[in-house]
Every structure is written in structure tokens, then in C-alpha cells.
Amino acid sequence: SQQGEEDPQALSIQEGENATMNCSYKTSINNLQWYRQNSGRGLVHLILIRSNEREKHSGRLRVTLDTSKKSSSLLITASRAADTASYFCATPYSGGGADGLTFGKGTHLIIQP
């Protein structure tokens, strides 16, 4: 199975600043996803980016994918206190069709008011 590794493990910034999280993975993938988890809750899907895409936007979120470097980044612009959460990148478990996900350990983001 493949595994993404997020960097940094923890990030604390002031409200209004931008937050950037990075993810590296080991082998070729056909898509990569980002999820958010608030403390004690289930995961919420943020963005799915496919291997033929380089960048994708959703509201204040921007995700990039560099398949040559096997890395992805998640940028949250104009951060808010409500963005405080853990963020995970996820890659296909086996590369098959209806596939499960392999998650990294996550980046814990704290937005200081």
C-alpha cells in the first residue's frame, strides 16, 4: 500500500494568514485527496485531484499536485478560527478500482484568533 506523509506535523498561525501543508507519497497514483478532521469527529472530504491535474481550487482552498516529485500541497487562504483541525492527505490503497484510502499522519493546524 502507499502512504502519504504530511509536513509539518503541526502548524500554528494567526487568523487571516495563509496556511500551507505538504504531502509526499511513495509510488505512482491516479488521484490524491485531502480530508479535514475536527477533534472527535469524522473526516470531511475537501478536494480530490487527479493525476492529470496540476492545480485545483475550492473556495479558500488550493491544492497542487506534482507527480514528478510525488508531492501535493494544500493552501488555505485567509484562515479562520473554524479552520482549526487536522488535515490529511490520502492516496489509493491498492491502486485498483473502487479502492480504499491510505492516510498520512496528518497536519494539526491551529488558528490563533
Going by the DSSP 8-state scheme, the letter that residue 24 receives in this structure is E
- Give the count of residues interacting with other proteins (CB under 8 A): 26
Residue 12 is a binding residue for other proteins (CB under 8 A): no
Minimum separation from the CB atom of position 48 to other proteins (A): 6
- 31, 64, 67, 77: which one contacts other proteins (CB under 8 A)? 31
Going by the DSSP 8-state scheme, the letter that residue 105 receives in this structure is -
- 13, 61, 101, 110: which one contacts other proteins (CB under 8 A)? 101
Residue 25 is a binding residue for other proteins (CB under 8 A): no
- CA-to-CA dists, residue 99 to 28, 29, 47, 74, 95, angstroms: 15, 12, 17, 22, 7
Q: What is the DSSP string of 57-96?
A: EETTEEEEEETTTTEEEEEE-S--GGG-EEEEEEEESSSS
Residues at the interface with other proteins (CB under 8 A):
1, 30-31, 33, 35, 41-45, 48, 88, 92-94, 96-106
